[in-house]
């Protein structure tokens, strides 16, 4: 059975992993006959958002690993314990946590950087030439992990795409139900909730991403 590592960034669209994207990814992996394990960096998340009001919760602090356990039903491991030789592929769901906790794109889009542990994990899969899937805003991580010219998509948002392209992403516009595949680097991307207006719309592209990633496993 093929084994896929998932890197989560918390719990909740505004300050962590997008819950629908993450659950749809888990479901698609199992439906395509593979298995997954979840990982997250053991760190304080950038901030906490009240998902009911959309406002920052002042004087509240949460841990990315602990919050990710909410989605993973407790079964999540420290990202430092992710060993590339135990897996066939990597998938990173989106949500603002990918742009606030895994990197700081949402805070400093002009000159953003990536978390060192996320960078090490991403590079390990890249150097091992193992497939990877990044969805929603998570492709912002790609030009910091792969060589300049890596192909990917965040959908059709030109302003956001240009910021990531400035770091080295060769951005390809894509509708919500399609994927962009960089065959040289075995990287698959899809817009997911960068474009999706419903969970069923998001599901189509995410399912194709998972299927494509598994198909690239040698």
Domain that holds residue 180: 3-215
Task: Name the domain count of the chain.
Answer: 1
pLDDT tens digits along 79-114: 999 999 999 999 999 999 999 999 999 999 999 999
Q: Which of 11, 38, 103, 136 is catalytic?
A: 136
Active site residue 103: no
**Contact between residue 172 and residue 180 where contact means Cβ atoms under 8 Å apart:** yes
What digits encode the pLDDT tens for the residues 117-170? Answer: 999 999 999 999 999 999 999 999 999 999 999 999 999 999 999 999 999 999
pLDDT of residue 112: 97
| pLDDT confidence of residue 218 | 85
Q: Supply the DSSP symbol for 49.
A: B
pLDDT at site 54: 87
pTM, full prediction: 0.97
* Cβ atoms 132, 122 nearer than 8 A: yes
CB atoms within 10 A of CB 208: 18
Residue 62 sits in a domain of what CATH number?
3.40.50.880
Query: At CA 117, angle to CA 21 and CA 127, rounded to 5?
Result: 85
């Amino acid at each position: 059975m093929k084994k896929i590592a998932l890197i989560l960034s918390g719990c909740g669209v505004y300050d962590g992993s997008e819950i629908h994207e993450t659950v749809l990814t888990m479901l698609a992996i199992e439906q395509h006959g593979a298995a997954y394990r979840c990982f997250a960096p053991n760190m304080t998340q950038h901030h906490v958002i009240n998902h009911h009001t959309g406002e920052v919760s002042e004087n509240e602090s949460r841990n990315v690993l602990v919050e990710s356990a909410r989605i993973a039903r407790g079964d999540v491991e420290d990202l430092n314990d992710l060993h590339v030789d135990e897996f066939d592929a990597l998938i990173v769901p989106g949500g603002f946590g990918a742009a606030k906790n895994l990197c700081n794109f949402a805070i400093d889009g002009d000159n953003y950087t990536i978390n060192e542990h996320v960078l090490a994990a991403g590079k390990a899969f890249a150097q091992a030439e193992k497939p990877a899937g990044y969805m929603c805003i998570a492709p912002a991580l790609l030009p910091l992990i792969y060589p300049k010219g890596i192909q990917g998509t965040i959908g059709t948002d030109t302003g956001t795409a240009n910021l990531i392209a400035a770091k080295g992403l060769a951005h390809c516009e894509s509708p919500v139900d399609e994927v962009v595949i960089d065959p040289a680097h075995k990287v698959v991307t899809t817009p997911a909730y960068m474009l999706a207006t419903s969970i069923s719309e998001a599901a189509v592209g995410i399912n194709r991403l998972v299927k494509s990633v598994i198909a690239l496993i040698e």
